[in-house]
Amino acid sequence: MVRTAVFSSACGAPAPAPIVRVVSDSIDLDGLLTRFRGELAGTEDEAGLYQLQVAYLGKKGQVTALSKSLGSLAPEDRKAAGERINAVKRACEEEIAARAAELRSRARQRELARIEDVSAVRPRALGTFHPITQTRRALEQVFGELGFDIEDGPHVEFARFNFDDLNIGPDHPARDMADTFFVQPAAGSGRMVDELVLRTHTSPVQIRTMRARKPPIRIVALGTVFRRDDDATHSPMFHQIEGLCVDEGVSMADLRATLYRFVGAFFGRELEVRFRPSFFPFVEPGAEFDMQCPFCGGSGCSTCKSSGWIELGGSGMVHPAVFEACGIDPERYTGWAFGFGIDRMAMLMHQIHDLRLMFDGDIRFAEQFPC
Ligand code: PHE
């Protein structure tokens, strides 16, 4: 019995021969392959390749239609016909992939031909983090591992948080116009505004934290601060880190242990820490603290100016007046705080001698500190 099955033709291809002839000898399969190859050779881009793939191998494609019409063949013919159709299908797939690779390589060649001298292409420079950012991140990492949360505060700060609530009274010299940048309220705003300043230290973050959170508190705050100062070792804008710990029974010994642990973790070796009595209105008792010089181990070198010690910053036990300003009961809680310069730490680590180099914005400087 002669049965005919006609496959649908995509893209207006000429109507192919009946399937019976296809399976009775391979001429029509060969014909299909020849047509496919002709069209493939004329395909110049990915869109054309895709169309061809759909026309032959897609759901309604010519090869697919052949497979579907296998059912209409005599059972004894189906196996051989199926194998041959599969072989054609594989051939189409492989040839489309090969043509795609060829088109891609030609496109690349054309692109390269447009560039006159390939070796003249400058490699793109990779950026690096500024040494202060690197130091800041390293500090955050170490204090994070010691169990401290990171807090933040604004650069434009209420004078009350920057001074008054830190027990720095109206007559304190730090409030002088010569030391502090005051921010003028908008002229004619007609509103009473709290006096605003550019924060002169990170200590107002102590106030913000204690107003917002109840003990136990363990935080560090890192950021930019501003003072009217400008020479080789002072910049009107610089960076500090503040530490604050408040809980029941917290003592100066905890402060010392924390600083000792921090210095050891940061420099990767055991270094002594020492206190020198000092005064800051928001701590009592107050102390400046030094660390054993990490470069000579304390025997004396140019970095520590032969003293064996490097000054780091200020610290002490939180003053009861500060607790009261923040609504924390000074009878129940005690706490300690410290603060020191991040820029100085970065200079130490990288042996940078002039602070101004850090802020000149010269890319040749920053490039020397790959991270
Ligand atoms: N805020 C002080 C300064 O800028 C440093 C300090 C912080 C001192 C915390 C004591 C406690 O110099």
Mean predicted lDDT score pLDDT of the chain:
87
Q: pTM value?
A: 0.67
Ligand 1, atom 8: nearest CA belongs to which residue? 314
Task: Name which residue sits closest to atom 7 of ligand 1, judged by CA.
Answer: 339
* CA nearest to 198, candidates 176, 172, 224, 171: 224
Q: What pLDDT does residue 5 have?
A: 38
Query: DSSP character for 231?
Result: B
Ligand 1 centre to CA of 248 (Å) is: 22
pLDDT at residue 10 in the model: 41
The CA R_g of the chain, rounded to the nearest whole Å, is 39
Cα 82 to Cα 29, 63, 235, 315: the distances in Å are 12, 11, 83, 86
Distance CA 224, CA 343 (A): 10
In ligand 1, the atom with minimum distance to the C-alpha of 203 is: 1
204 Cβ closer than 6 Å to some ligand 1 atom: no
Model confidence at 13: pLDDT above 60: no
pLDDT digits (tens, 9 = 90+) for 104-145: 998 888 888 887 776 777 777 778 889 999 999 999 999 999
State the pLDDT confidence band at 26, using cuts at 50, 70 and 90.
very low
Beta partners for residue 343, in sequence order? none
Q: Tokens 């100062």 belong to which residue? A: 229
Sheet holding 182-183, edge to edge: 156-158, 196-198, 182-183
Distance (Å) from CA 281 to ligand 1 centroid: 9
Does the CB atom of residue 259 touch ligand 1 within 6 A? no
**Edge-to-edge strand ranges of the sheet holding 237-247:** 149-151, 217-226, 237-247, 334-341, 309-318, 283-292, 273-278
Cα separation values, 68 from 7, 34, 63, 82, 160, Å? 9, 21, 9, 10, 84
Q: Which of 197, 200, 282 to mutate to test the pocket of ligand 1 (most atoms within 8 A of CB)?
A: 282
Kindly state the percentage of the chain with pLDDT values over 70.
Answer: 90
Nearest to 198 by CA among 165, 227, 240: 227
Ligand 1 site, residue 338, Cβ cutoff 6 A: yes
**CA 342–ligand 1 middle distance (angstroms):** 13
